Amino acid sequence: MGDREYSWKEAQEILIDMDERGTTDEFFQSHFLAWRDHPEYPPAYLYLLRLILPIYENGKLDLGKLMQLDKEARSRHQRIVFGLEDAASDFYDFYAKVITQPLERDLERGASGRTLSNYFEFEEHGQIPAARAVGLDTVEKAVHKVAVELLSQLQKITLDKILSDIKITLDQHYDRGMTEATLERTYIQTSEFVRLMIQRSSGPSDPATVILCPARGHGVIREGYEGVFYPTYYVQETP
């Protein structure tokens, strides 16, 4: 994939350009085809590894092989496997650089309510009155007030708080026995800072895909770039 990650739209443009020039890249094409149905998330990291590395044994993830490959990668100053501390640090940077600091700048420059509301999640949107009932001016003032309160909350986020939230959320997930989604449903567990999504398995014997990501931030990311800027981790429980 090169020295950086690509957005879904960039990947699409690259594939079209390759097709026009009569060139093919089976791995890149497989990567894009697996991505196109859900542009907001790139294909699972383990799916890409499965395409190029021998990390599966009898259809199941071989953690021993994966850890060995990670050990070899680290000798080249690269990584394959990440820990909870890595995810917490990544999420902390995301909150600071993609949400908190931009929101502070937008408030300082007097951004419109429409712009400020991009930082909101369901909880914040629920505090905004309907324009038909109170008028646009009142809505603008309400949005600004909620944005100021949100900024104050975001500025209190620490790396330790995020790490603790990740650990508690994962513990709750496994303690409840919800280590696999069923064929009938998926589920999402959202805490203060993180969101855990368990996607349904493709068959009775197939493990579910467990995804860990920040609890907020999609509204401030330009369409097609979620896979670049939105930190997403695929969770595997180690022995």
Residues 174 and 201 in one domain: yes
Domain boundary residue, one of 154, 174, 205: 154
Is residue 225 in a domain? Answer: yes
- Does residue 119 fall inside a structural domain? yes
Helix (H, G, I), strand (E, B) or coil at 106: helix
* Domain identity same for 223 and 165: yes
pLDDT at 217: 87
100 lies in some domain: yes
* Whole-structure pTM value: 0.73
Can you give the length of the chain in residues? 239
By C-alpha distance, which of 74, 47, 90, 95 is closest to 236?
47
Please tell me the distance from the alpha carbon of residue 31 to that of residue 42, in angstroms, as a whole number: 8
**Pairwise pLDDT comparison (17 vs 200), residue with the higher score:** 17
Could you tell me if residue 65 is inside a domain?
Answer: yes
SS3 22: coil
163 and 149, same structural domain?
no
Average pLDDT of span 83-99: 95
Residue 2 lies in a domain: no
Same domain, 57 and 116: no
In terms of domains, do 167 and 228 share one? Answer: yes
Work out the burial of residue 144: count CB atoms within 10 Å of its CB; fewer than 13 is exposed, 13-18 middle, 19 or more buried.
Answer: middle
Does residue 55 lie within any of the structural domains? yes
Domain co-membership, 198 together with 224: yes
Q: Please report which helix (H) or strand (E) contains residue 15, including its range.
A: helix 8-20
Is pLDDT at 181 greater than 60 in this prediction? Answer: no
What pLDDT is recorded for position 182?
53
* Weakest-pLDDT range from 90-99, 101-110, 213-222: 213-222
Residues 92 and 150 in one domain: yes
197 in the same domain as 171: yes
Q: Do 56 and 92 lie in a common domain?
A: no
The answer to whether residues 173 and 222 belong to one domain is: yes
How many domains would you assign to the chain? 3
Compute the average pLDDT of residues 174-189: 62
Mean pLDDT of the chain: 80
Domain final position from 48, 74, 100: 74
Domain ranges, residue 51: 8-74
Does residue 80 sit within a domain?
A: no
User: How confident is the model at residue 1, as a pLDDT?
Assistant: 35
Backbone angles phi, psi at 196, to 5 degrees: -110, 120
- Of 154, 177, 196, the last residue of a domain is 154
Q: Which residues contact 88 (CB under 8 A, 6 or more apart)?
A: 159, 162, 163, 166
**Is 79 a domain residue?**
no
User: Residue 105 pLDDT more than 60?
Assistant: yes
The 10s digit of each residue's pLDDT in 31-86 is 667 666 666 666 665 566 666 666 667 666 778 888 888 888 888 888 888 899 99
Q: Is the same domain home to 162 and 230?
A: yes
